[in-house]
Amino acid sequence: MRKVCVVITARASYSRIKGAMQAIKEMPDMQLQLVVAASAMLNRYGEAYKQMQDDGFTIDRMIYSVVEGENPVAMVKTTGLGMIELVTALEDLKPDVVVTIADRYETIATAIAASYSNIPLAHIQGGEVTGNIDEKVRHAITKLADLHLVASEKAAERVIKMGENPDSVFVTGCPSIDLAAKAIMPELDFDPIERYGGSGLKRIKPEDYYIVIQHPVTDERGQSRQQVTETLKAMHELGKPTYWIWPNADSGSDETSKGIRVYREKYKPENIWFFRDIPSRDFLKLLYHSNGIVGNSSVAIRECSFLGVPAINVGSRQSGRDRAENVTDVGYDKDEILKAIEMRKDMPRVQSCLYGDGNAGKRIAEVLRDAELKFSKKLTY
């Protein structure tokens, strides 16, 4: 029985691995271990751990490791505390392999804890390029990892060019595309406000609407409030119903959140409704039936490419990431955002398999099952 320990530290990471977790759980010769930590445990970021439990997953360890502050010092301390707590969890669980996801700062805590514990490390979504500290974290994890489960051929090429053994690199696609494939349905089957509450001045209906997710950019801290204000101005002036999802826990999110609150109180936009979080199983349905997404979330680049949803990517957070035809890039400028929305309005939707075809979870589970593990840290095939 192979014990596979998946560590999830943020709400976005869950959608990136859920399909693989389900496939691992269904395999008779594998045991799924689940550790949930950092912002995935917190109420203000949607309590992602509850979504996992609702989906039928058993959580083996819950770790509270977020240091308050939402600034660089807090990020570093959260990472350090995460390492301390995670290594204890891994010592108790004794997995055969640890799985870490993507590029958030908490993720490197998982990678270090597993590597220094001499436990083989599998990394999901390595080899990609973005425009901030996440890229450095992602590439650092690649060098710590033994097994690379990447989303695209280009990502595989980058990992190999970094000196990794080609035999340890597998193009599986992104598990979040597995969820996106299930979101394609003829009609939206729920009202997000009825199901998830949120807040706004005037109730809006899920008709002819947009979605906004705008996170802070860690190396542009100090500009977050001004940046999000431009997007708020654009969506307010557009006047279309808008569902706005709260930012993540990165450094600068306090400024982004403050910018949203101040604008909301001062200008009282009646066309915008704010949510703390919407679970991926419903969020992707909502996204598929929208007019498009605005902001700087990777979901606009990844899942929306498969869904064919128009994406107005604002600013530098996703710089360098491989794009499909659904993406239009703009700066932090109200007029640029509005112009891009108008331009995309009448363009046909084009779906892409750039990040996968909807079967990544099964492929990842099969690789994790079949790889020959050695306790000397490295893997052989």
Segments making up each domain of the chain, as ranges? 2-174+356-380, 182-345
What span, in angstroms and rounded, lies between the C-alpha atoms of 234 and 232?
5
CATH topology of domain 182-345: Rossmann fold (3.40.50)
Please work out, in degrees rounded to the nearest 5, the angle formed at the alpha carbon of residue 358 by the alpha carbons of 5 and 170: 55
- Intrachain domains 2-174+356-380 and 182-345 with the same fold: yes
Predicted TM-score (pTM) of the model is 0.88
| Predicted local confidence at residue 375, as pLDDT | 42
Helix (H, G, I), strand (E, B) or coil at 349: coil
What span, in angstroms and rounded, lies between the C-alpha atoms of 173 and 359?
7
Residue 340's contacts (CB-CB under 8 Å, 6 or more residues apart) are 312, 328, 330
What span, in angstroms and rounded, lies between the C-alpha atoms of 294 and 242?
10
Structure token pair of residue 38: 């950092």
Q: What is the dihedral of CA 344, 347, 348, 352, to 10 degrees?
A: -50
What span, in angstroms and rounded, lies between the C-alpha atoms of 217 and 42?
21
How many beta carbons lie within 10 A of that of residue 58, not counting itself? Answer: 10
Residue 171, phi then psi, degrees to nearest 5: -85, 105
In CATH, the number for domain 2-174+356-380 is: 3.40.50.2000
Q: How far is CA 358 from CA 16, 65, 128, 151, 153, in A?
A: 12, 33, 19, 11, 16
| Predicted local confidence at residue 134, as pLDDT | 83
The tens place of each residue's pLDDT in the chain, 381 residues long, gives: 899 999 999 988 998 899 999 999 999 999 999 999 999 999 888 889 999 999 999 999 999 999 988 788 988 999 999 999 999 999 999 999 999 998 888 899 999 999 999 999 999 999 998 867 888 999 999 999 999 999 999 999 999 999 999 999 999 999 999 999 999 999 999 999 999 999 999 999 999 999 999 999 988 878 999 999 999 999 999 999 999 999 987 778 889 999 999 999 999 999 999 999 999 989 999 999 999 999 999 999 999 999 999 999 999 999 888 999 999 999 999 999 999 999 999 899 999 999 999 999 999 999 999 987 654 445 544
